[in-house]
C-alpha cells in the first residue's frame, strides 16, 4: 500500500490481522491474544514460567470499534456507527478514532485492506 499526500485516512478500510486471534469475554470486552515471541520472551517463559500468550483487553468503546472492523467498512463509516452509538461521548469523533485506529495498526492488530472502498 502506498501512502501519498492525497490519501484520505478516513477512506482506509481496516481489517483484523489473522495473526492475532481474539474473542469477546463474558463482559462484552474484546480480548486480543498475542503470542510472546523472541529470544528474551522464550527464556523468560522457560526460566520464570511466563505465559506463552498475553491477552490485550480493549475497553468498551475500543471493543465496539473492533467489532465494526470487518474488512469492508471505511474508517469514516466506522466513525458514523460510533457516533450513532455513543453520541457526544465519542467527541472529538474522528480525531480520537484515527488515533485509536493508528494505535491498532502500530501494534499490528489490524491491516489496511486498501485505500479506497470499491464502488
| Fold (topology level) of 11-112 | Arc Repressor Mutant, subunit A (1.10.10)
Q: Can you give the residue ranges of every domain in the chain?
A: 11-112
Predicted structure pTM score: 0.81
Contact 37, 69 (CB under 8 A): no
Q: How many CB atoms lie within 10 A of CB 109?
A: 21
Contact 114, 2 (CB under 8 A): no
Q: Is the pLDDT of residue 3 over 60?
A: no
Q: What is the mean pLDDT of residues 19-32?
A: 96
pLDDT value at residue 6? 63
Amino acid at each position: 500500500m502506498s501512502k501519498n499526500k492525497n490519501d484520505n485516512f478516513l477512506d482506509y478500510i481496516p481489517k483484523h490481522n489473522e495473526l492475532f486471534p481474539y474473542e469477546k469475554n463474558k463482559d462484552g470486552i474484546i480480548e486480543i491474544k498475542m503470542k510472546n515471541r523472541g529470544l528474551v520472551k522464550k527464556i523468560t517463559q522457560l526460566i520464570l514460567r511466563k505465559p506463552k500468550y498475553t491477552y490485550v483487553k480493549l475497553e468498551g468503546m475500543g471493543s465496539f470499534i473492533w467489532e465494526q472492523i470487518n474488512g469492508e467498512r471505511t474508517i469514516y463509516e466506522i466513525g458514523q456507527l460510533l457516533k450513532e452509538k455513543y453520541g457526544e461521548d465519542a467527541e472529538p469523533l474522528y480525531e480520537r478514532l484515527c488515533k485509536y485506529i493508528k494505535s491498532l495498526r502500530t501494534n499490528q492488530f489490524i491491516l489496511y485492506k486498501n485505500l479506497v472502498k470499491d464502488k
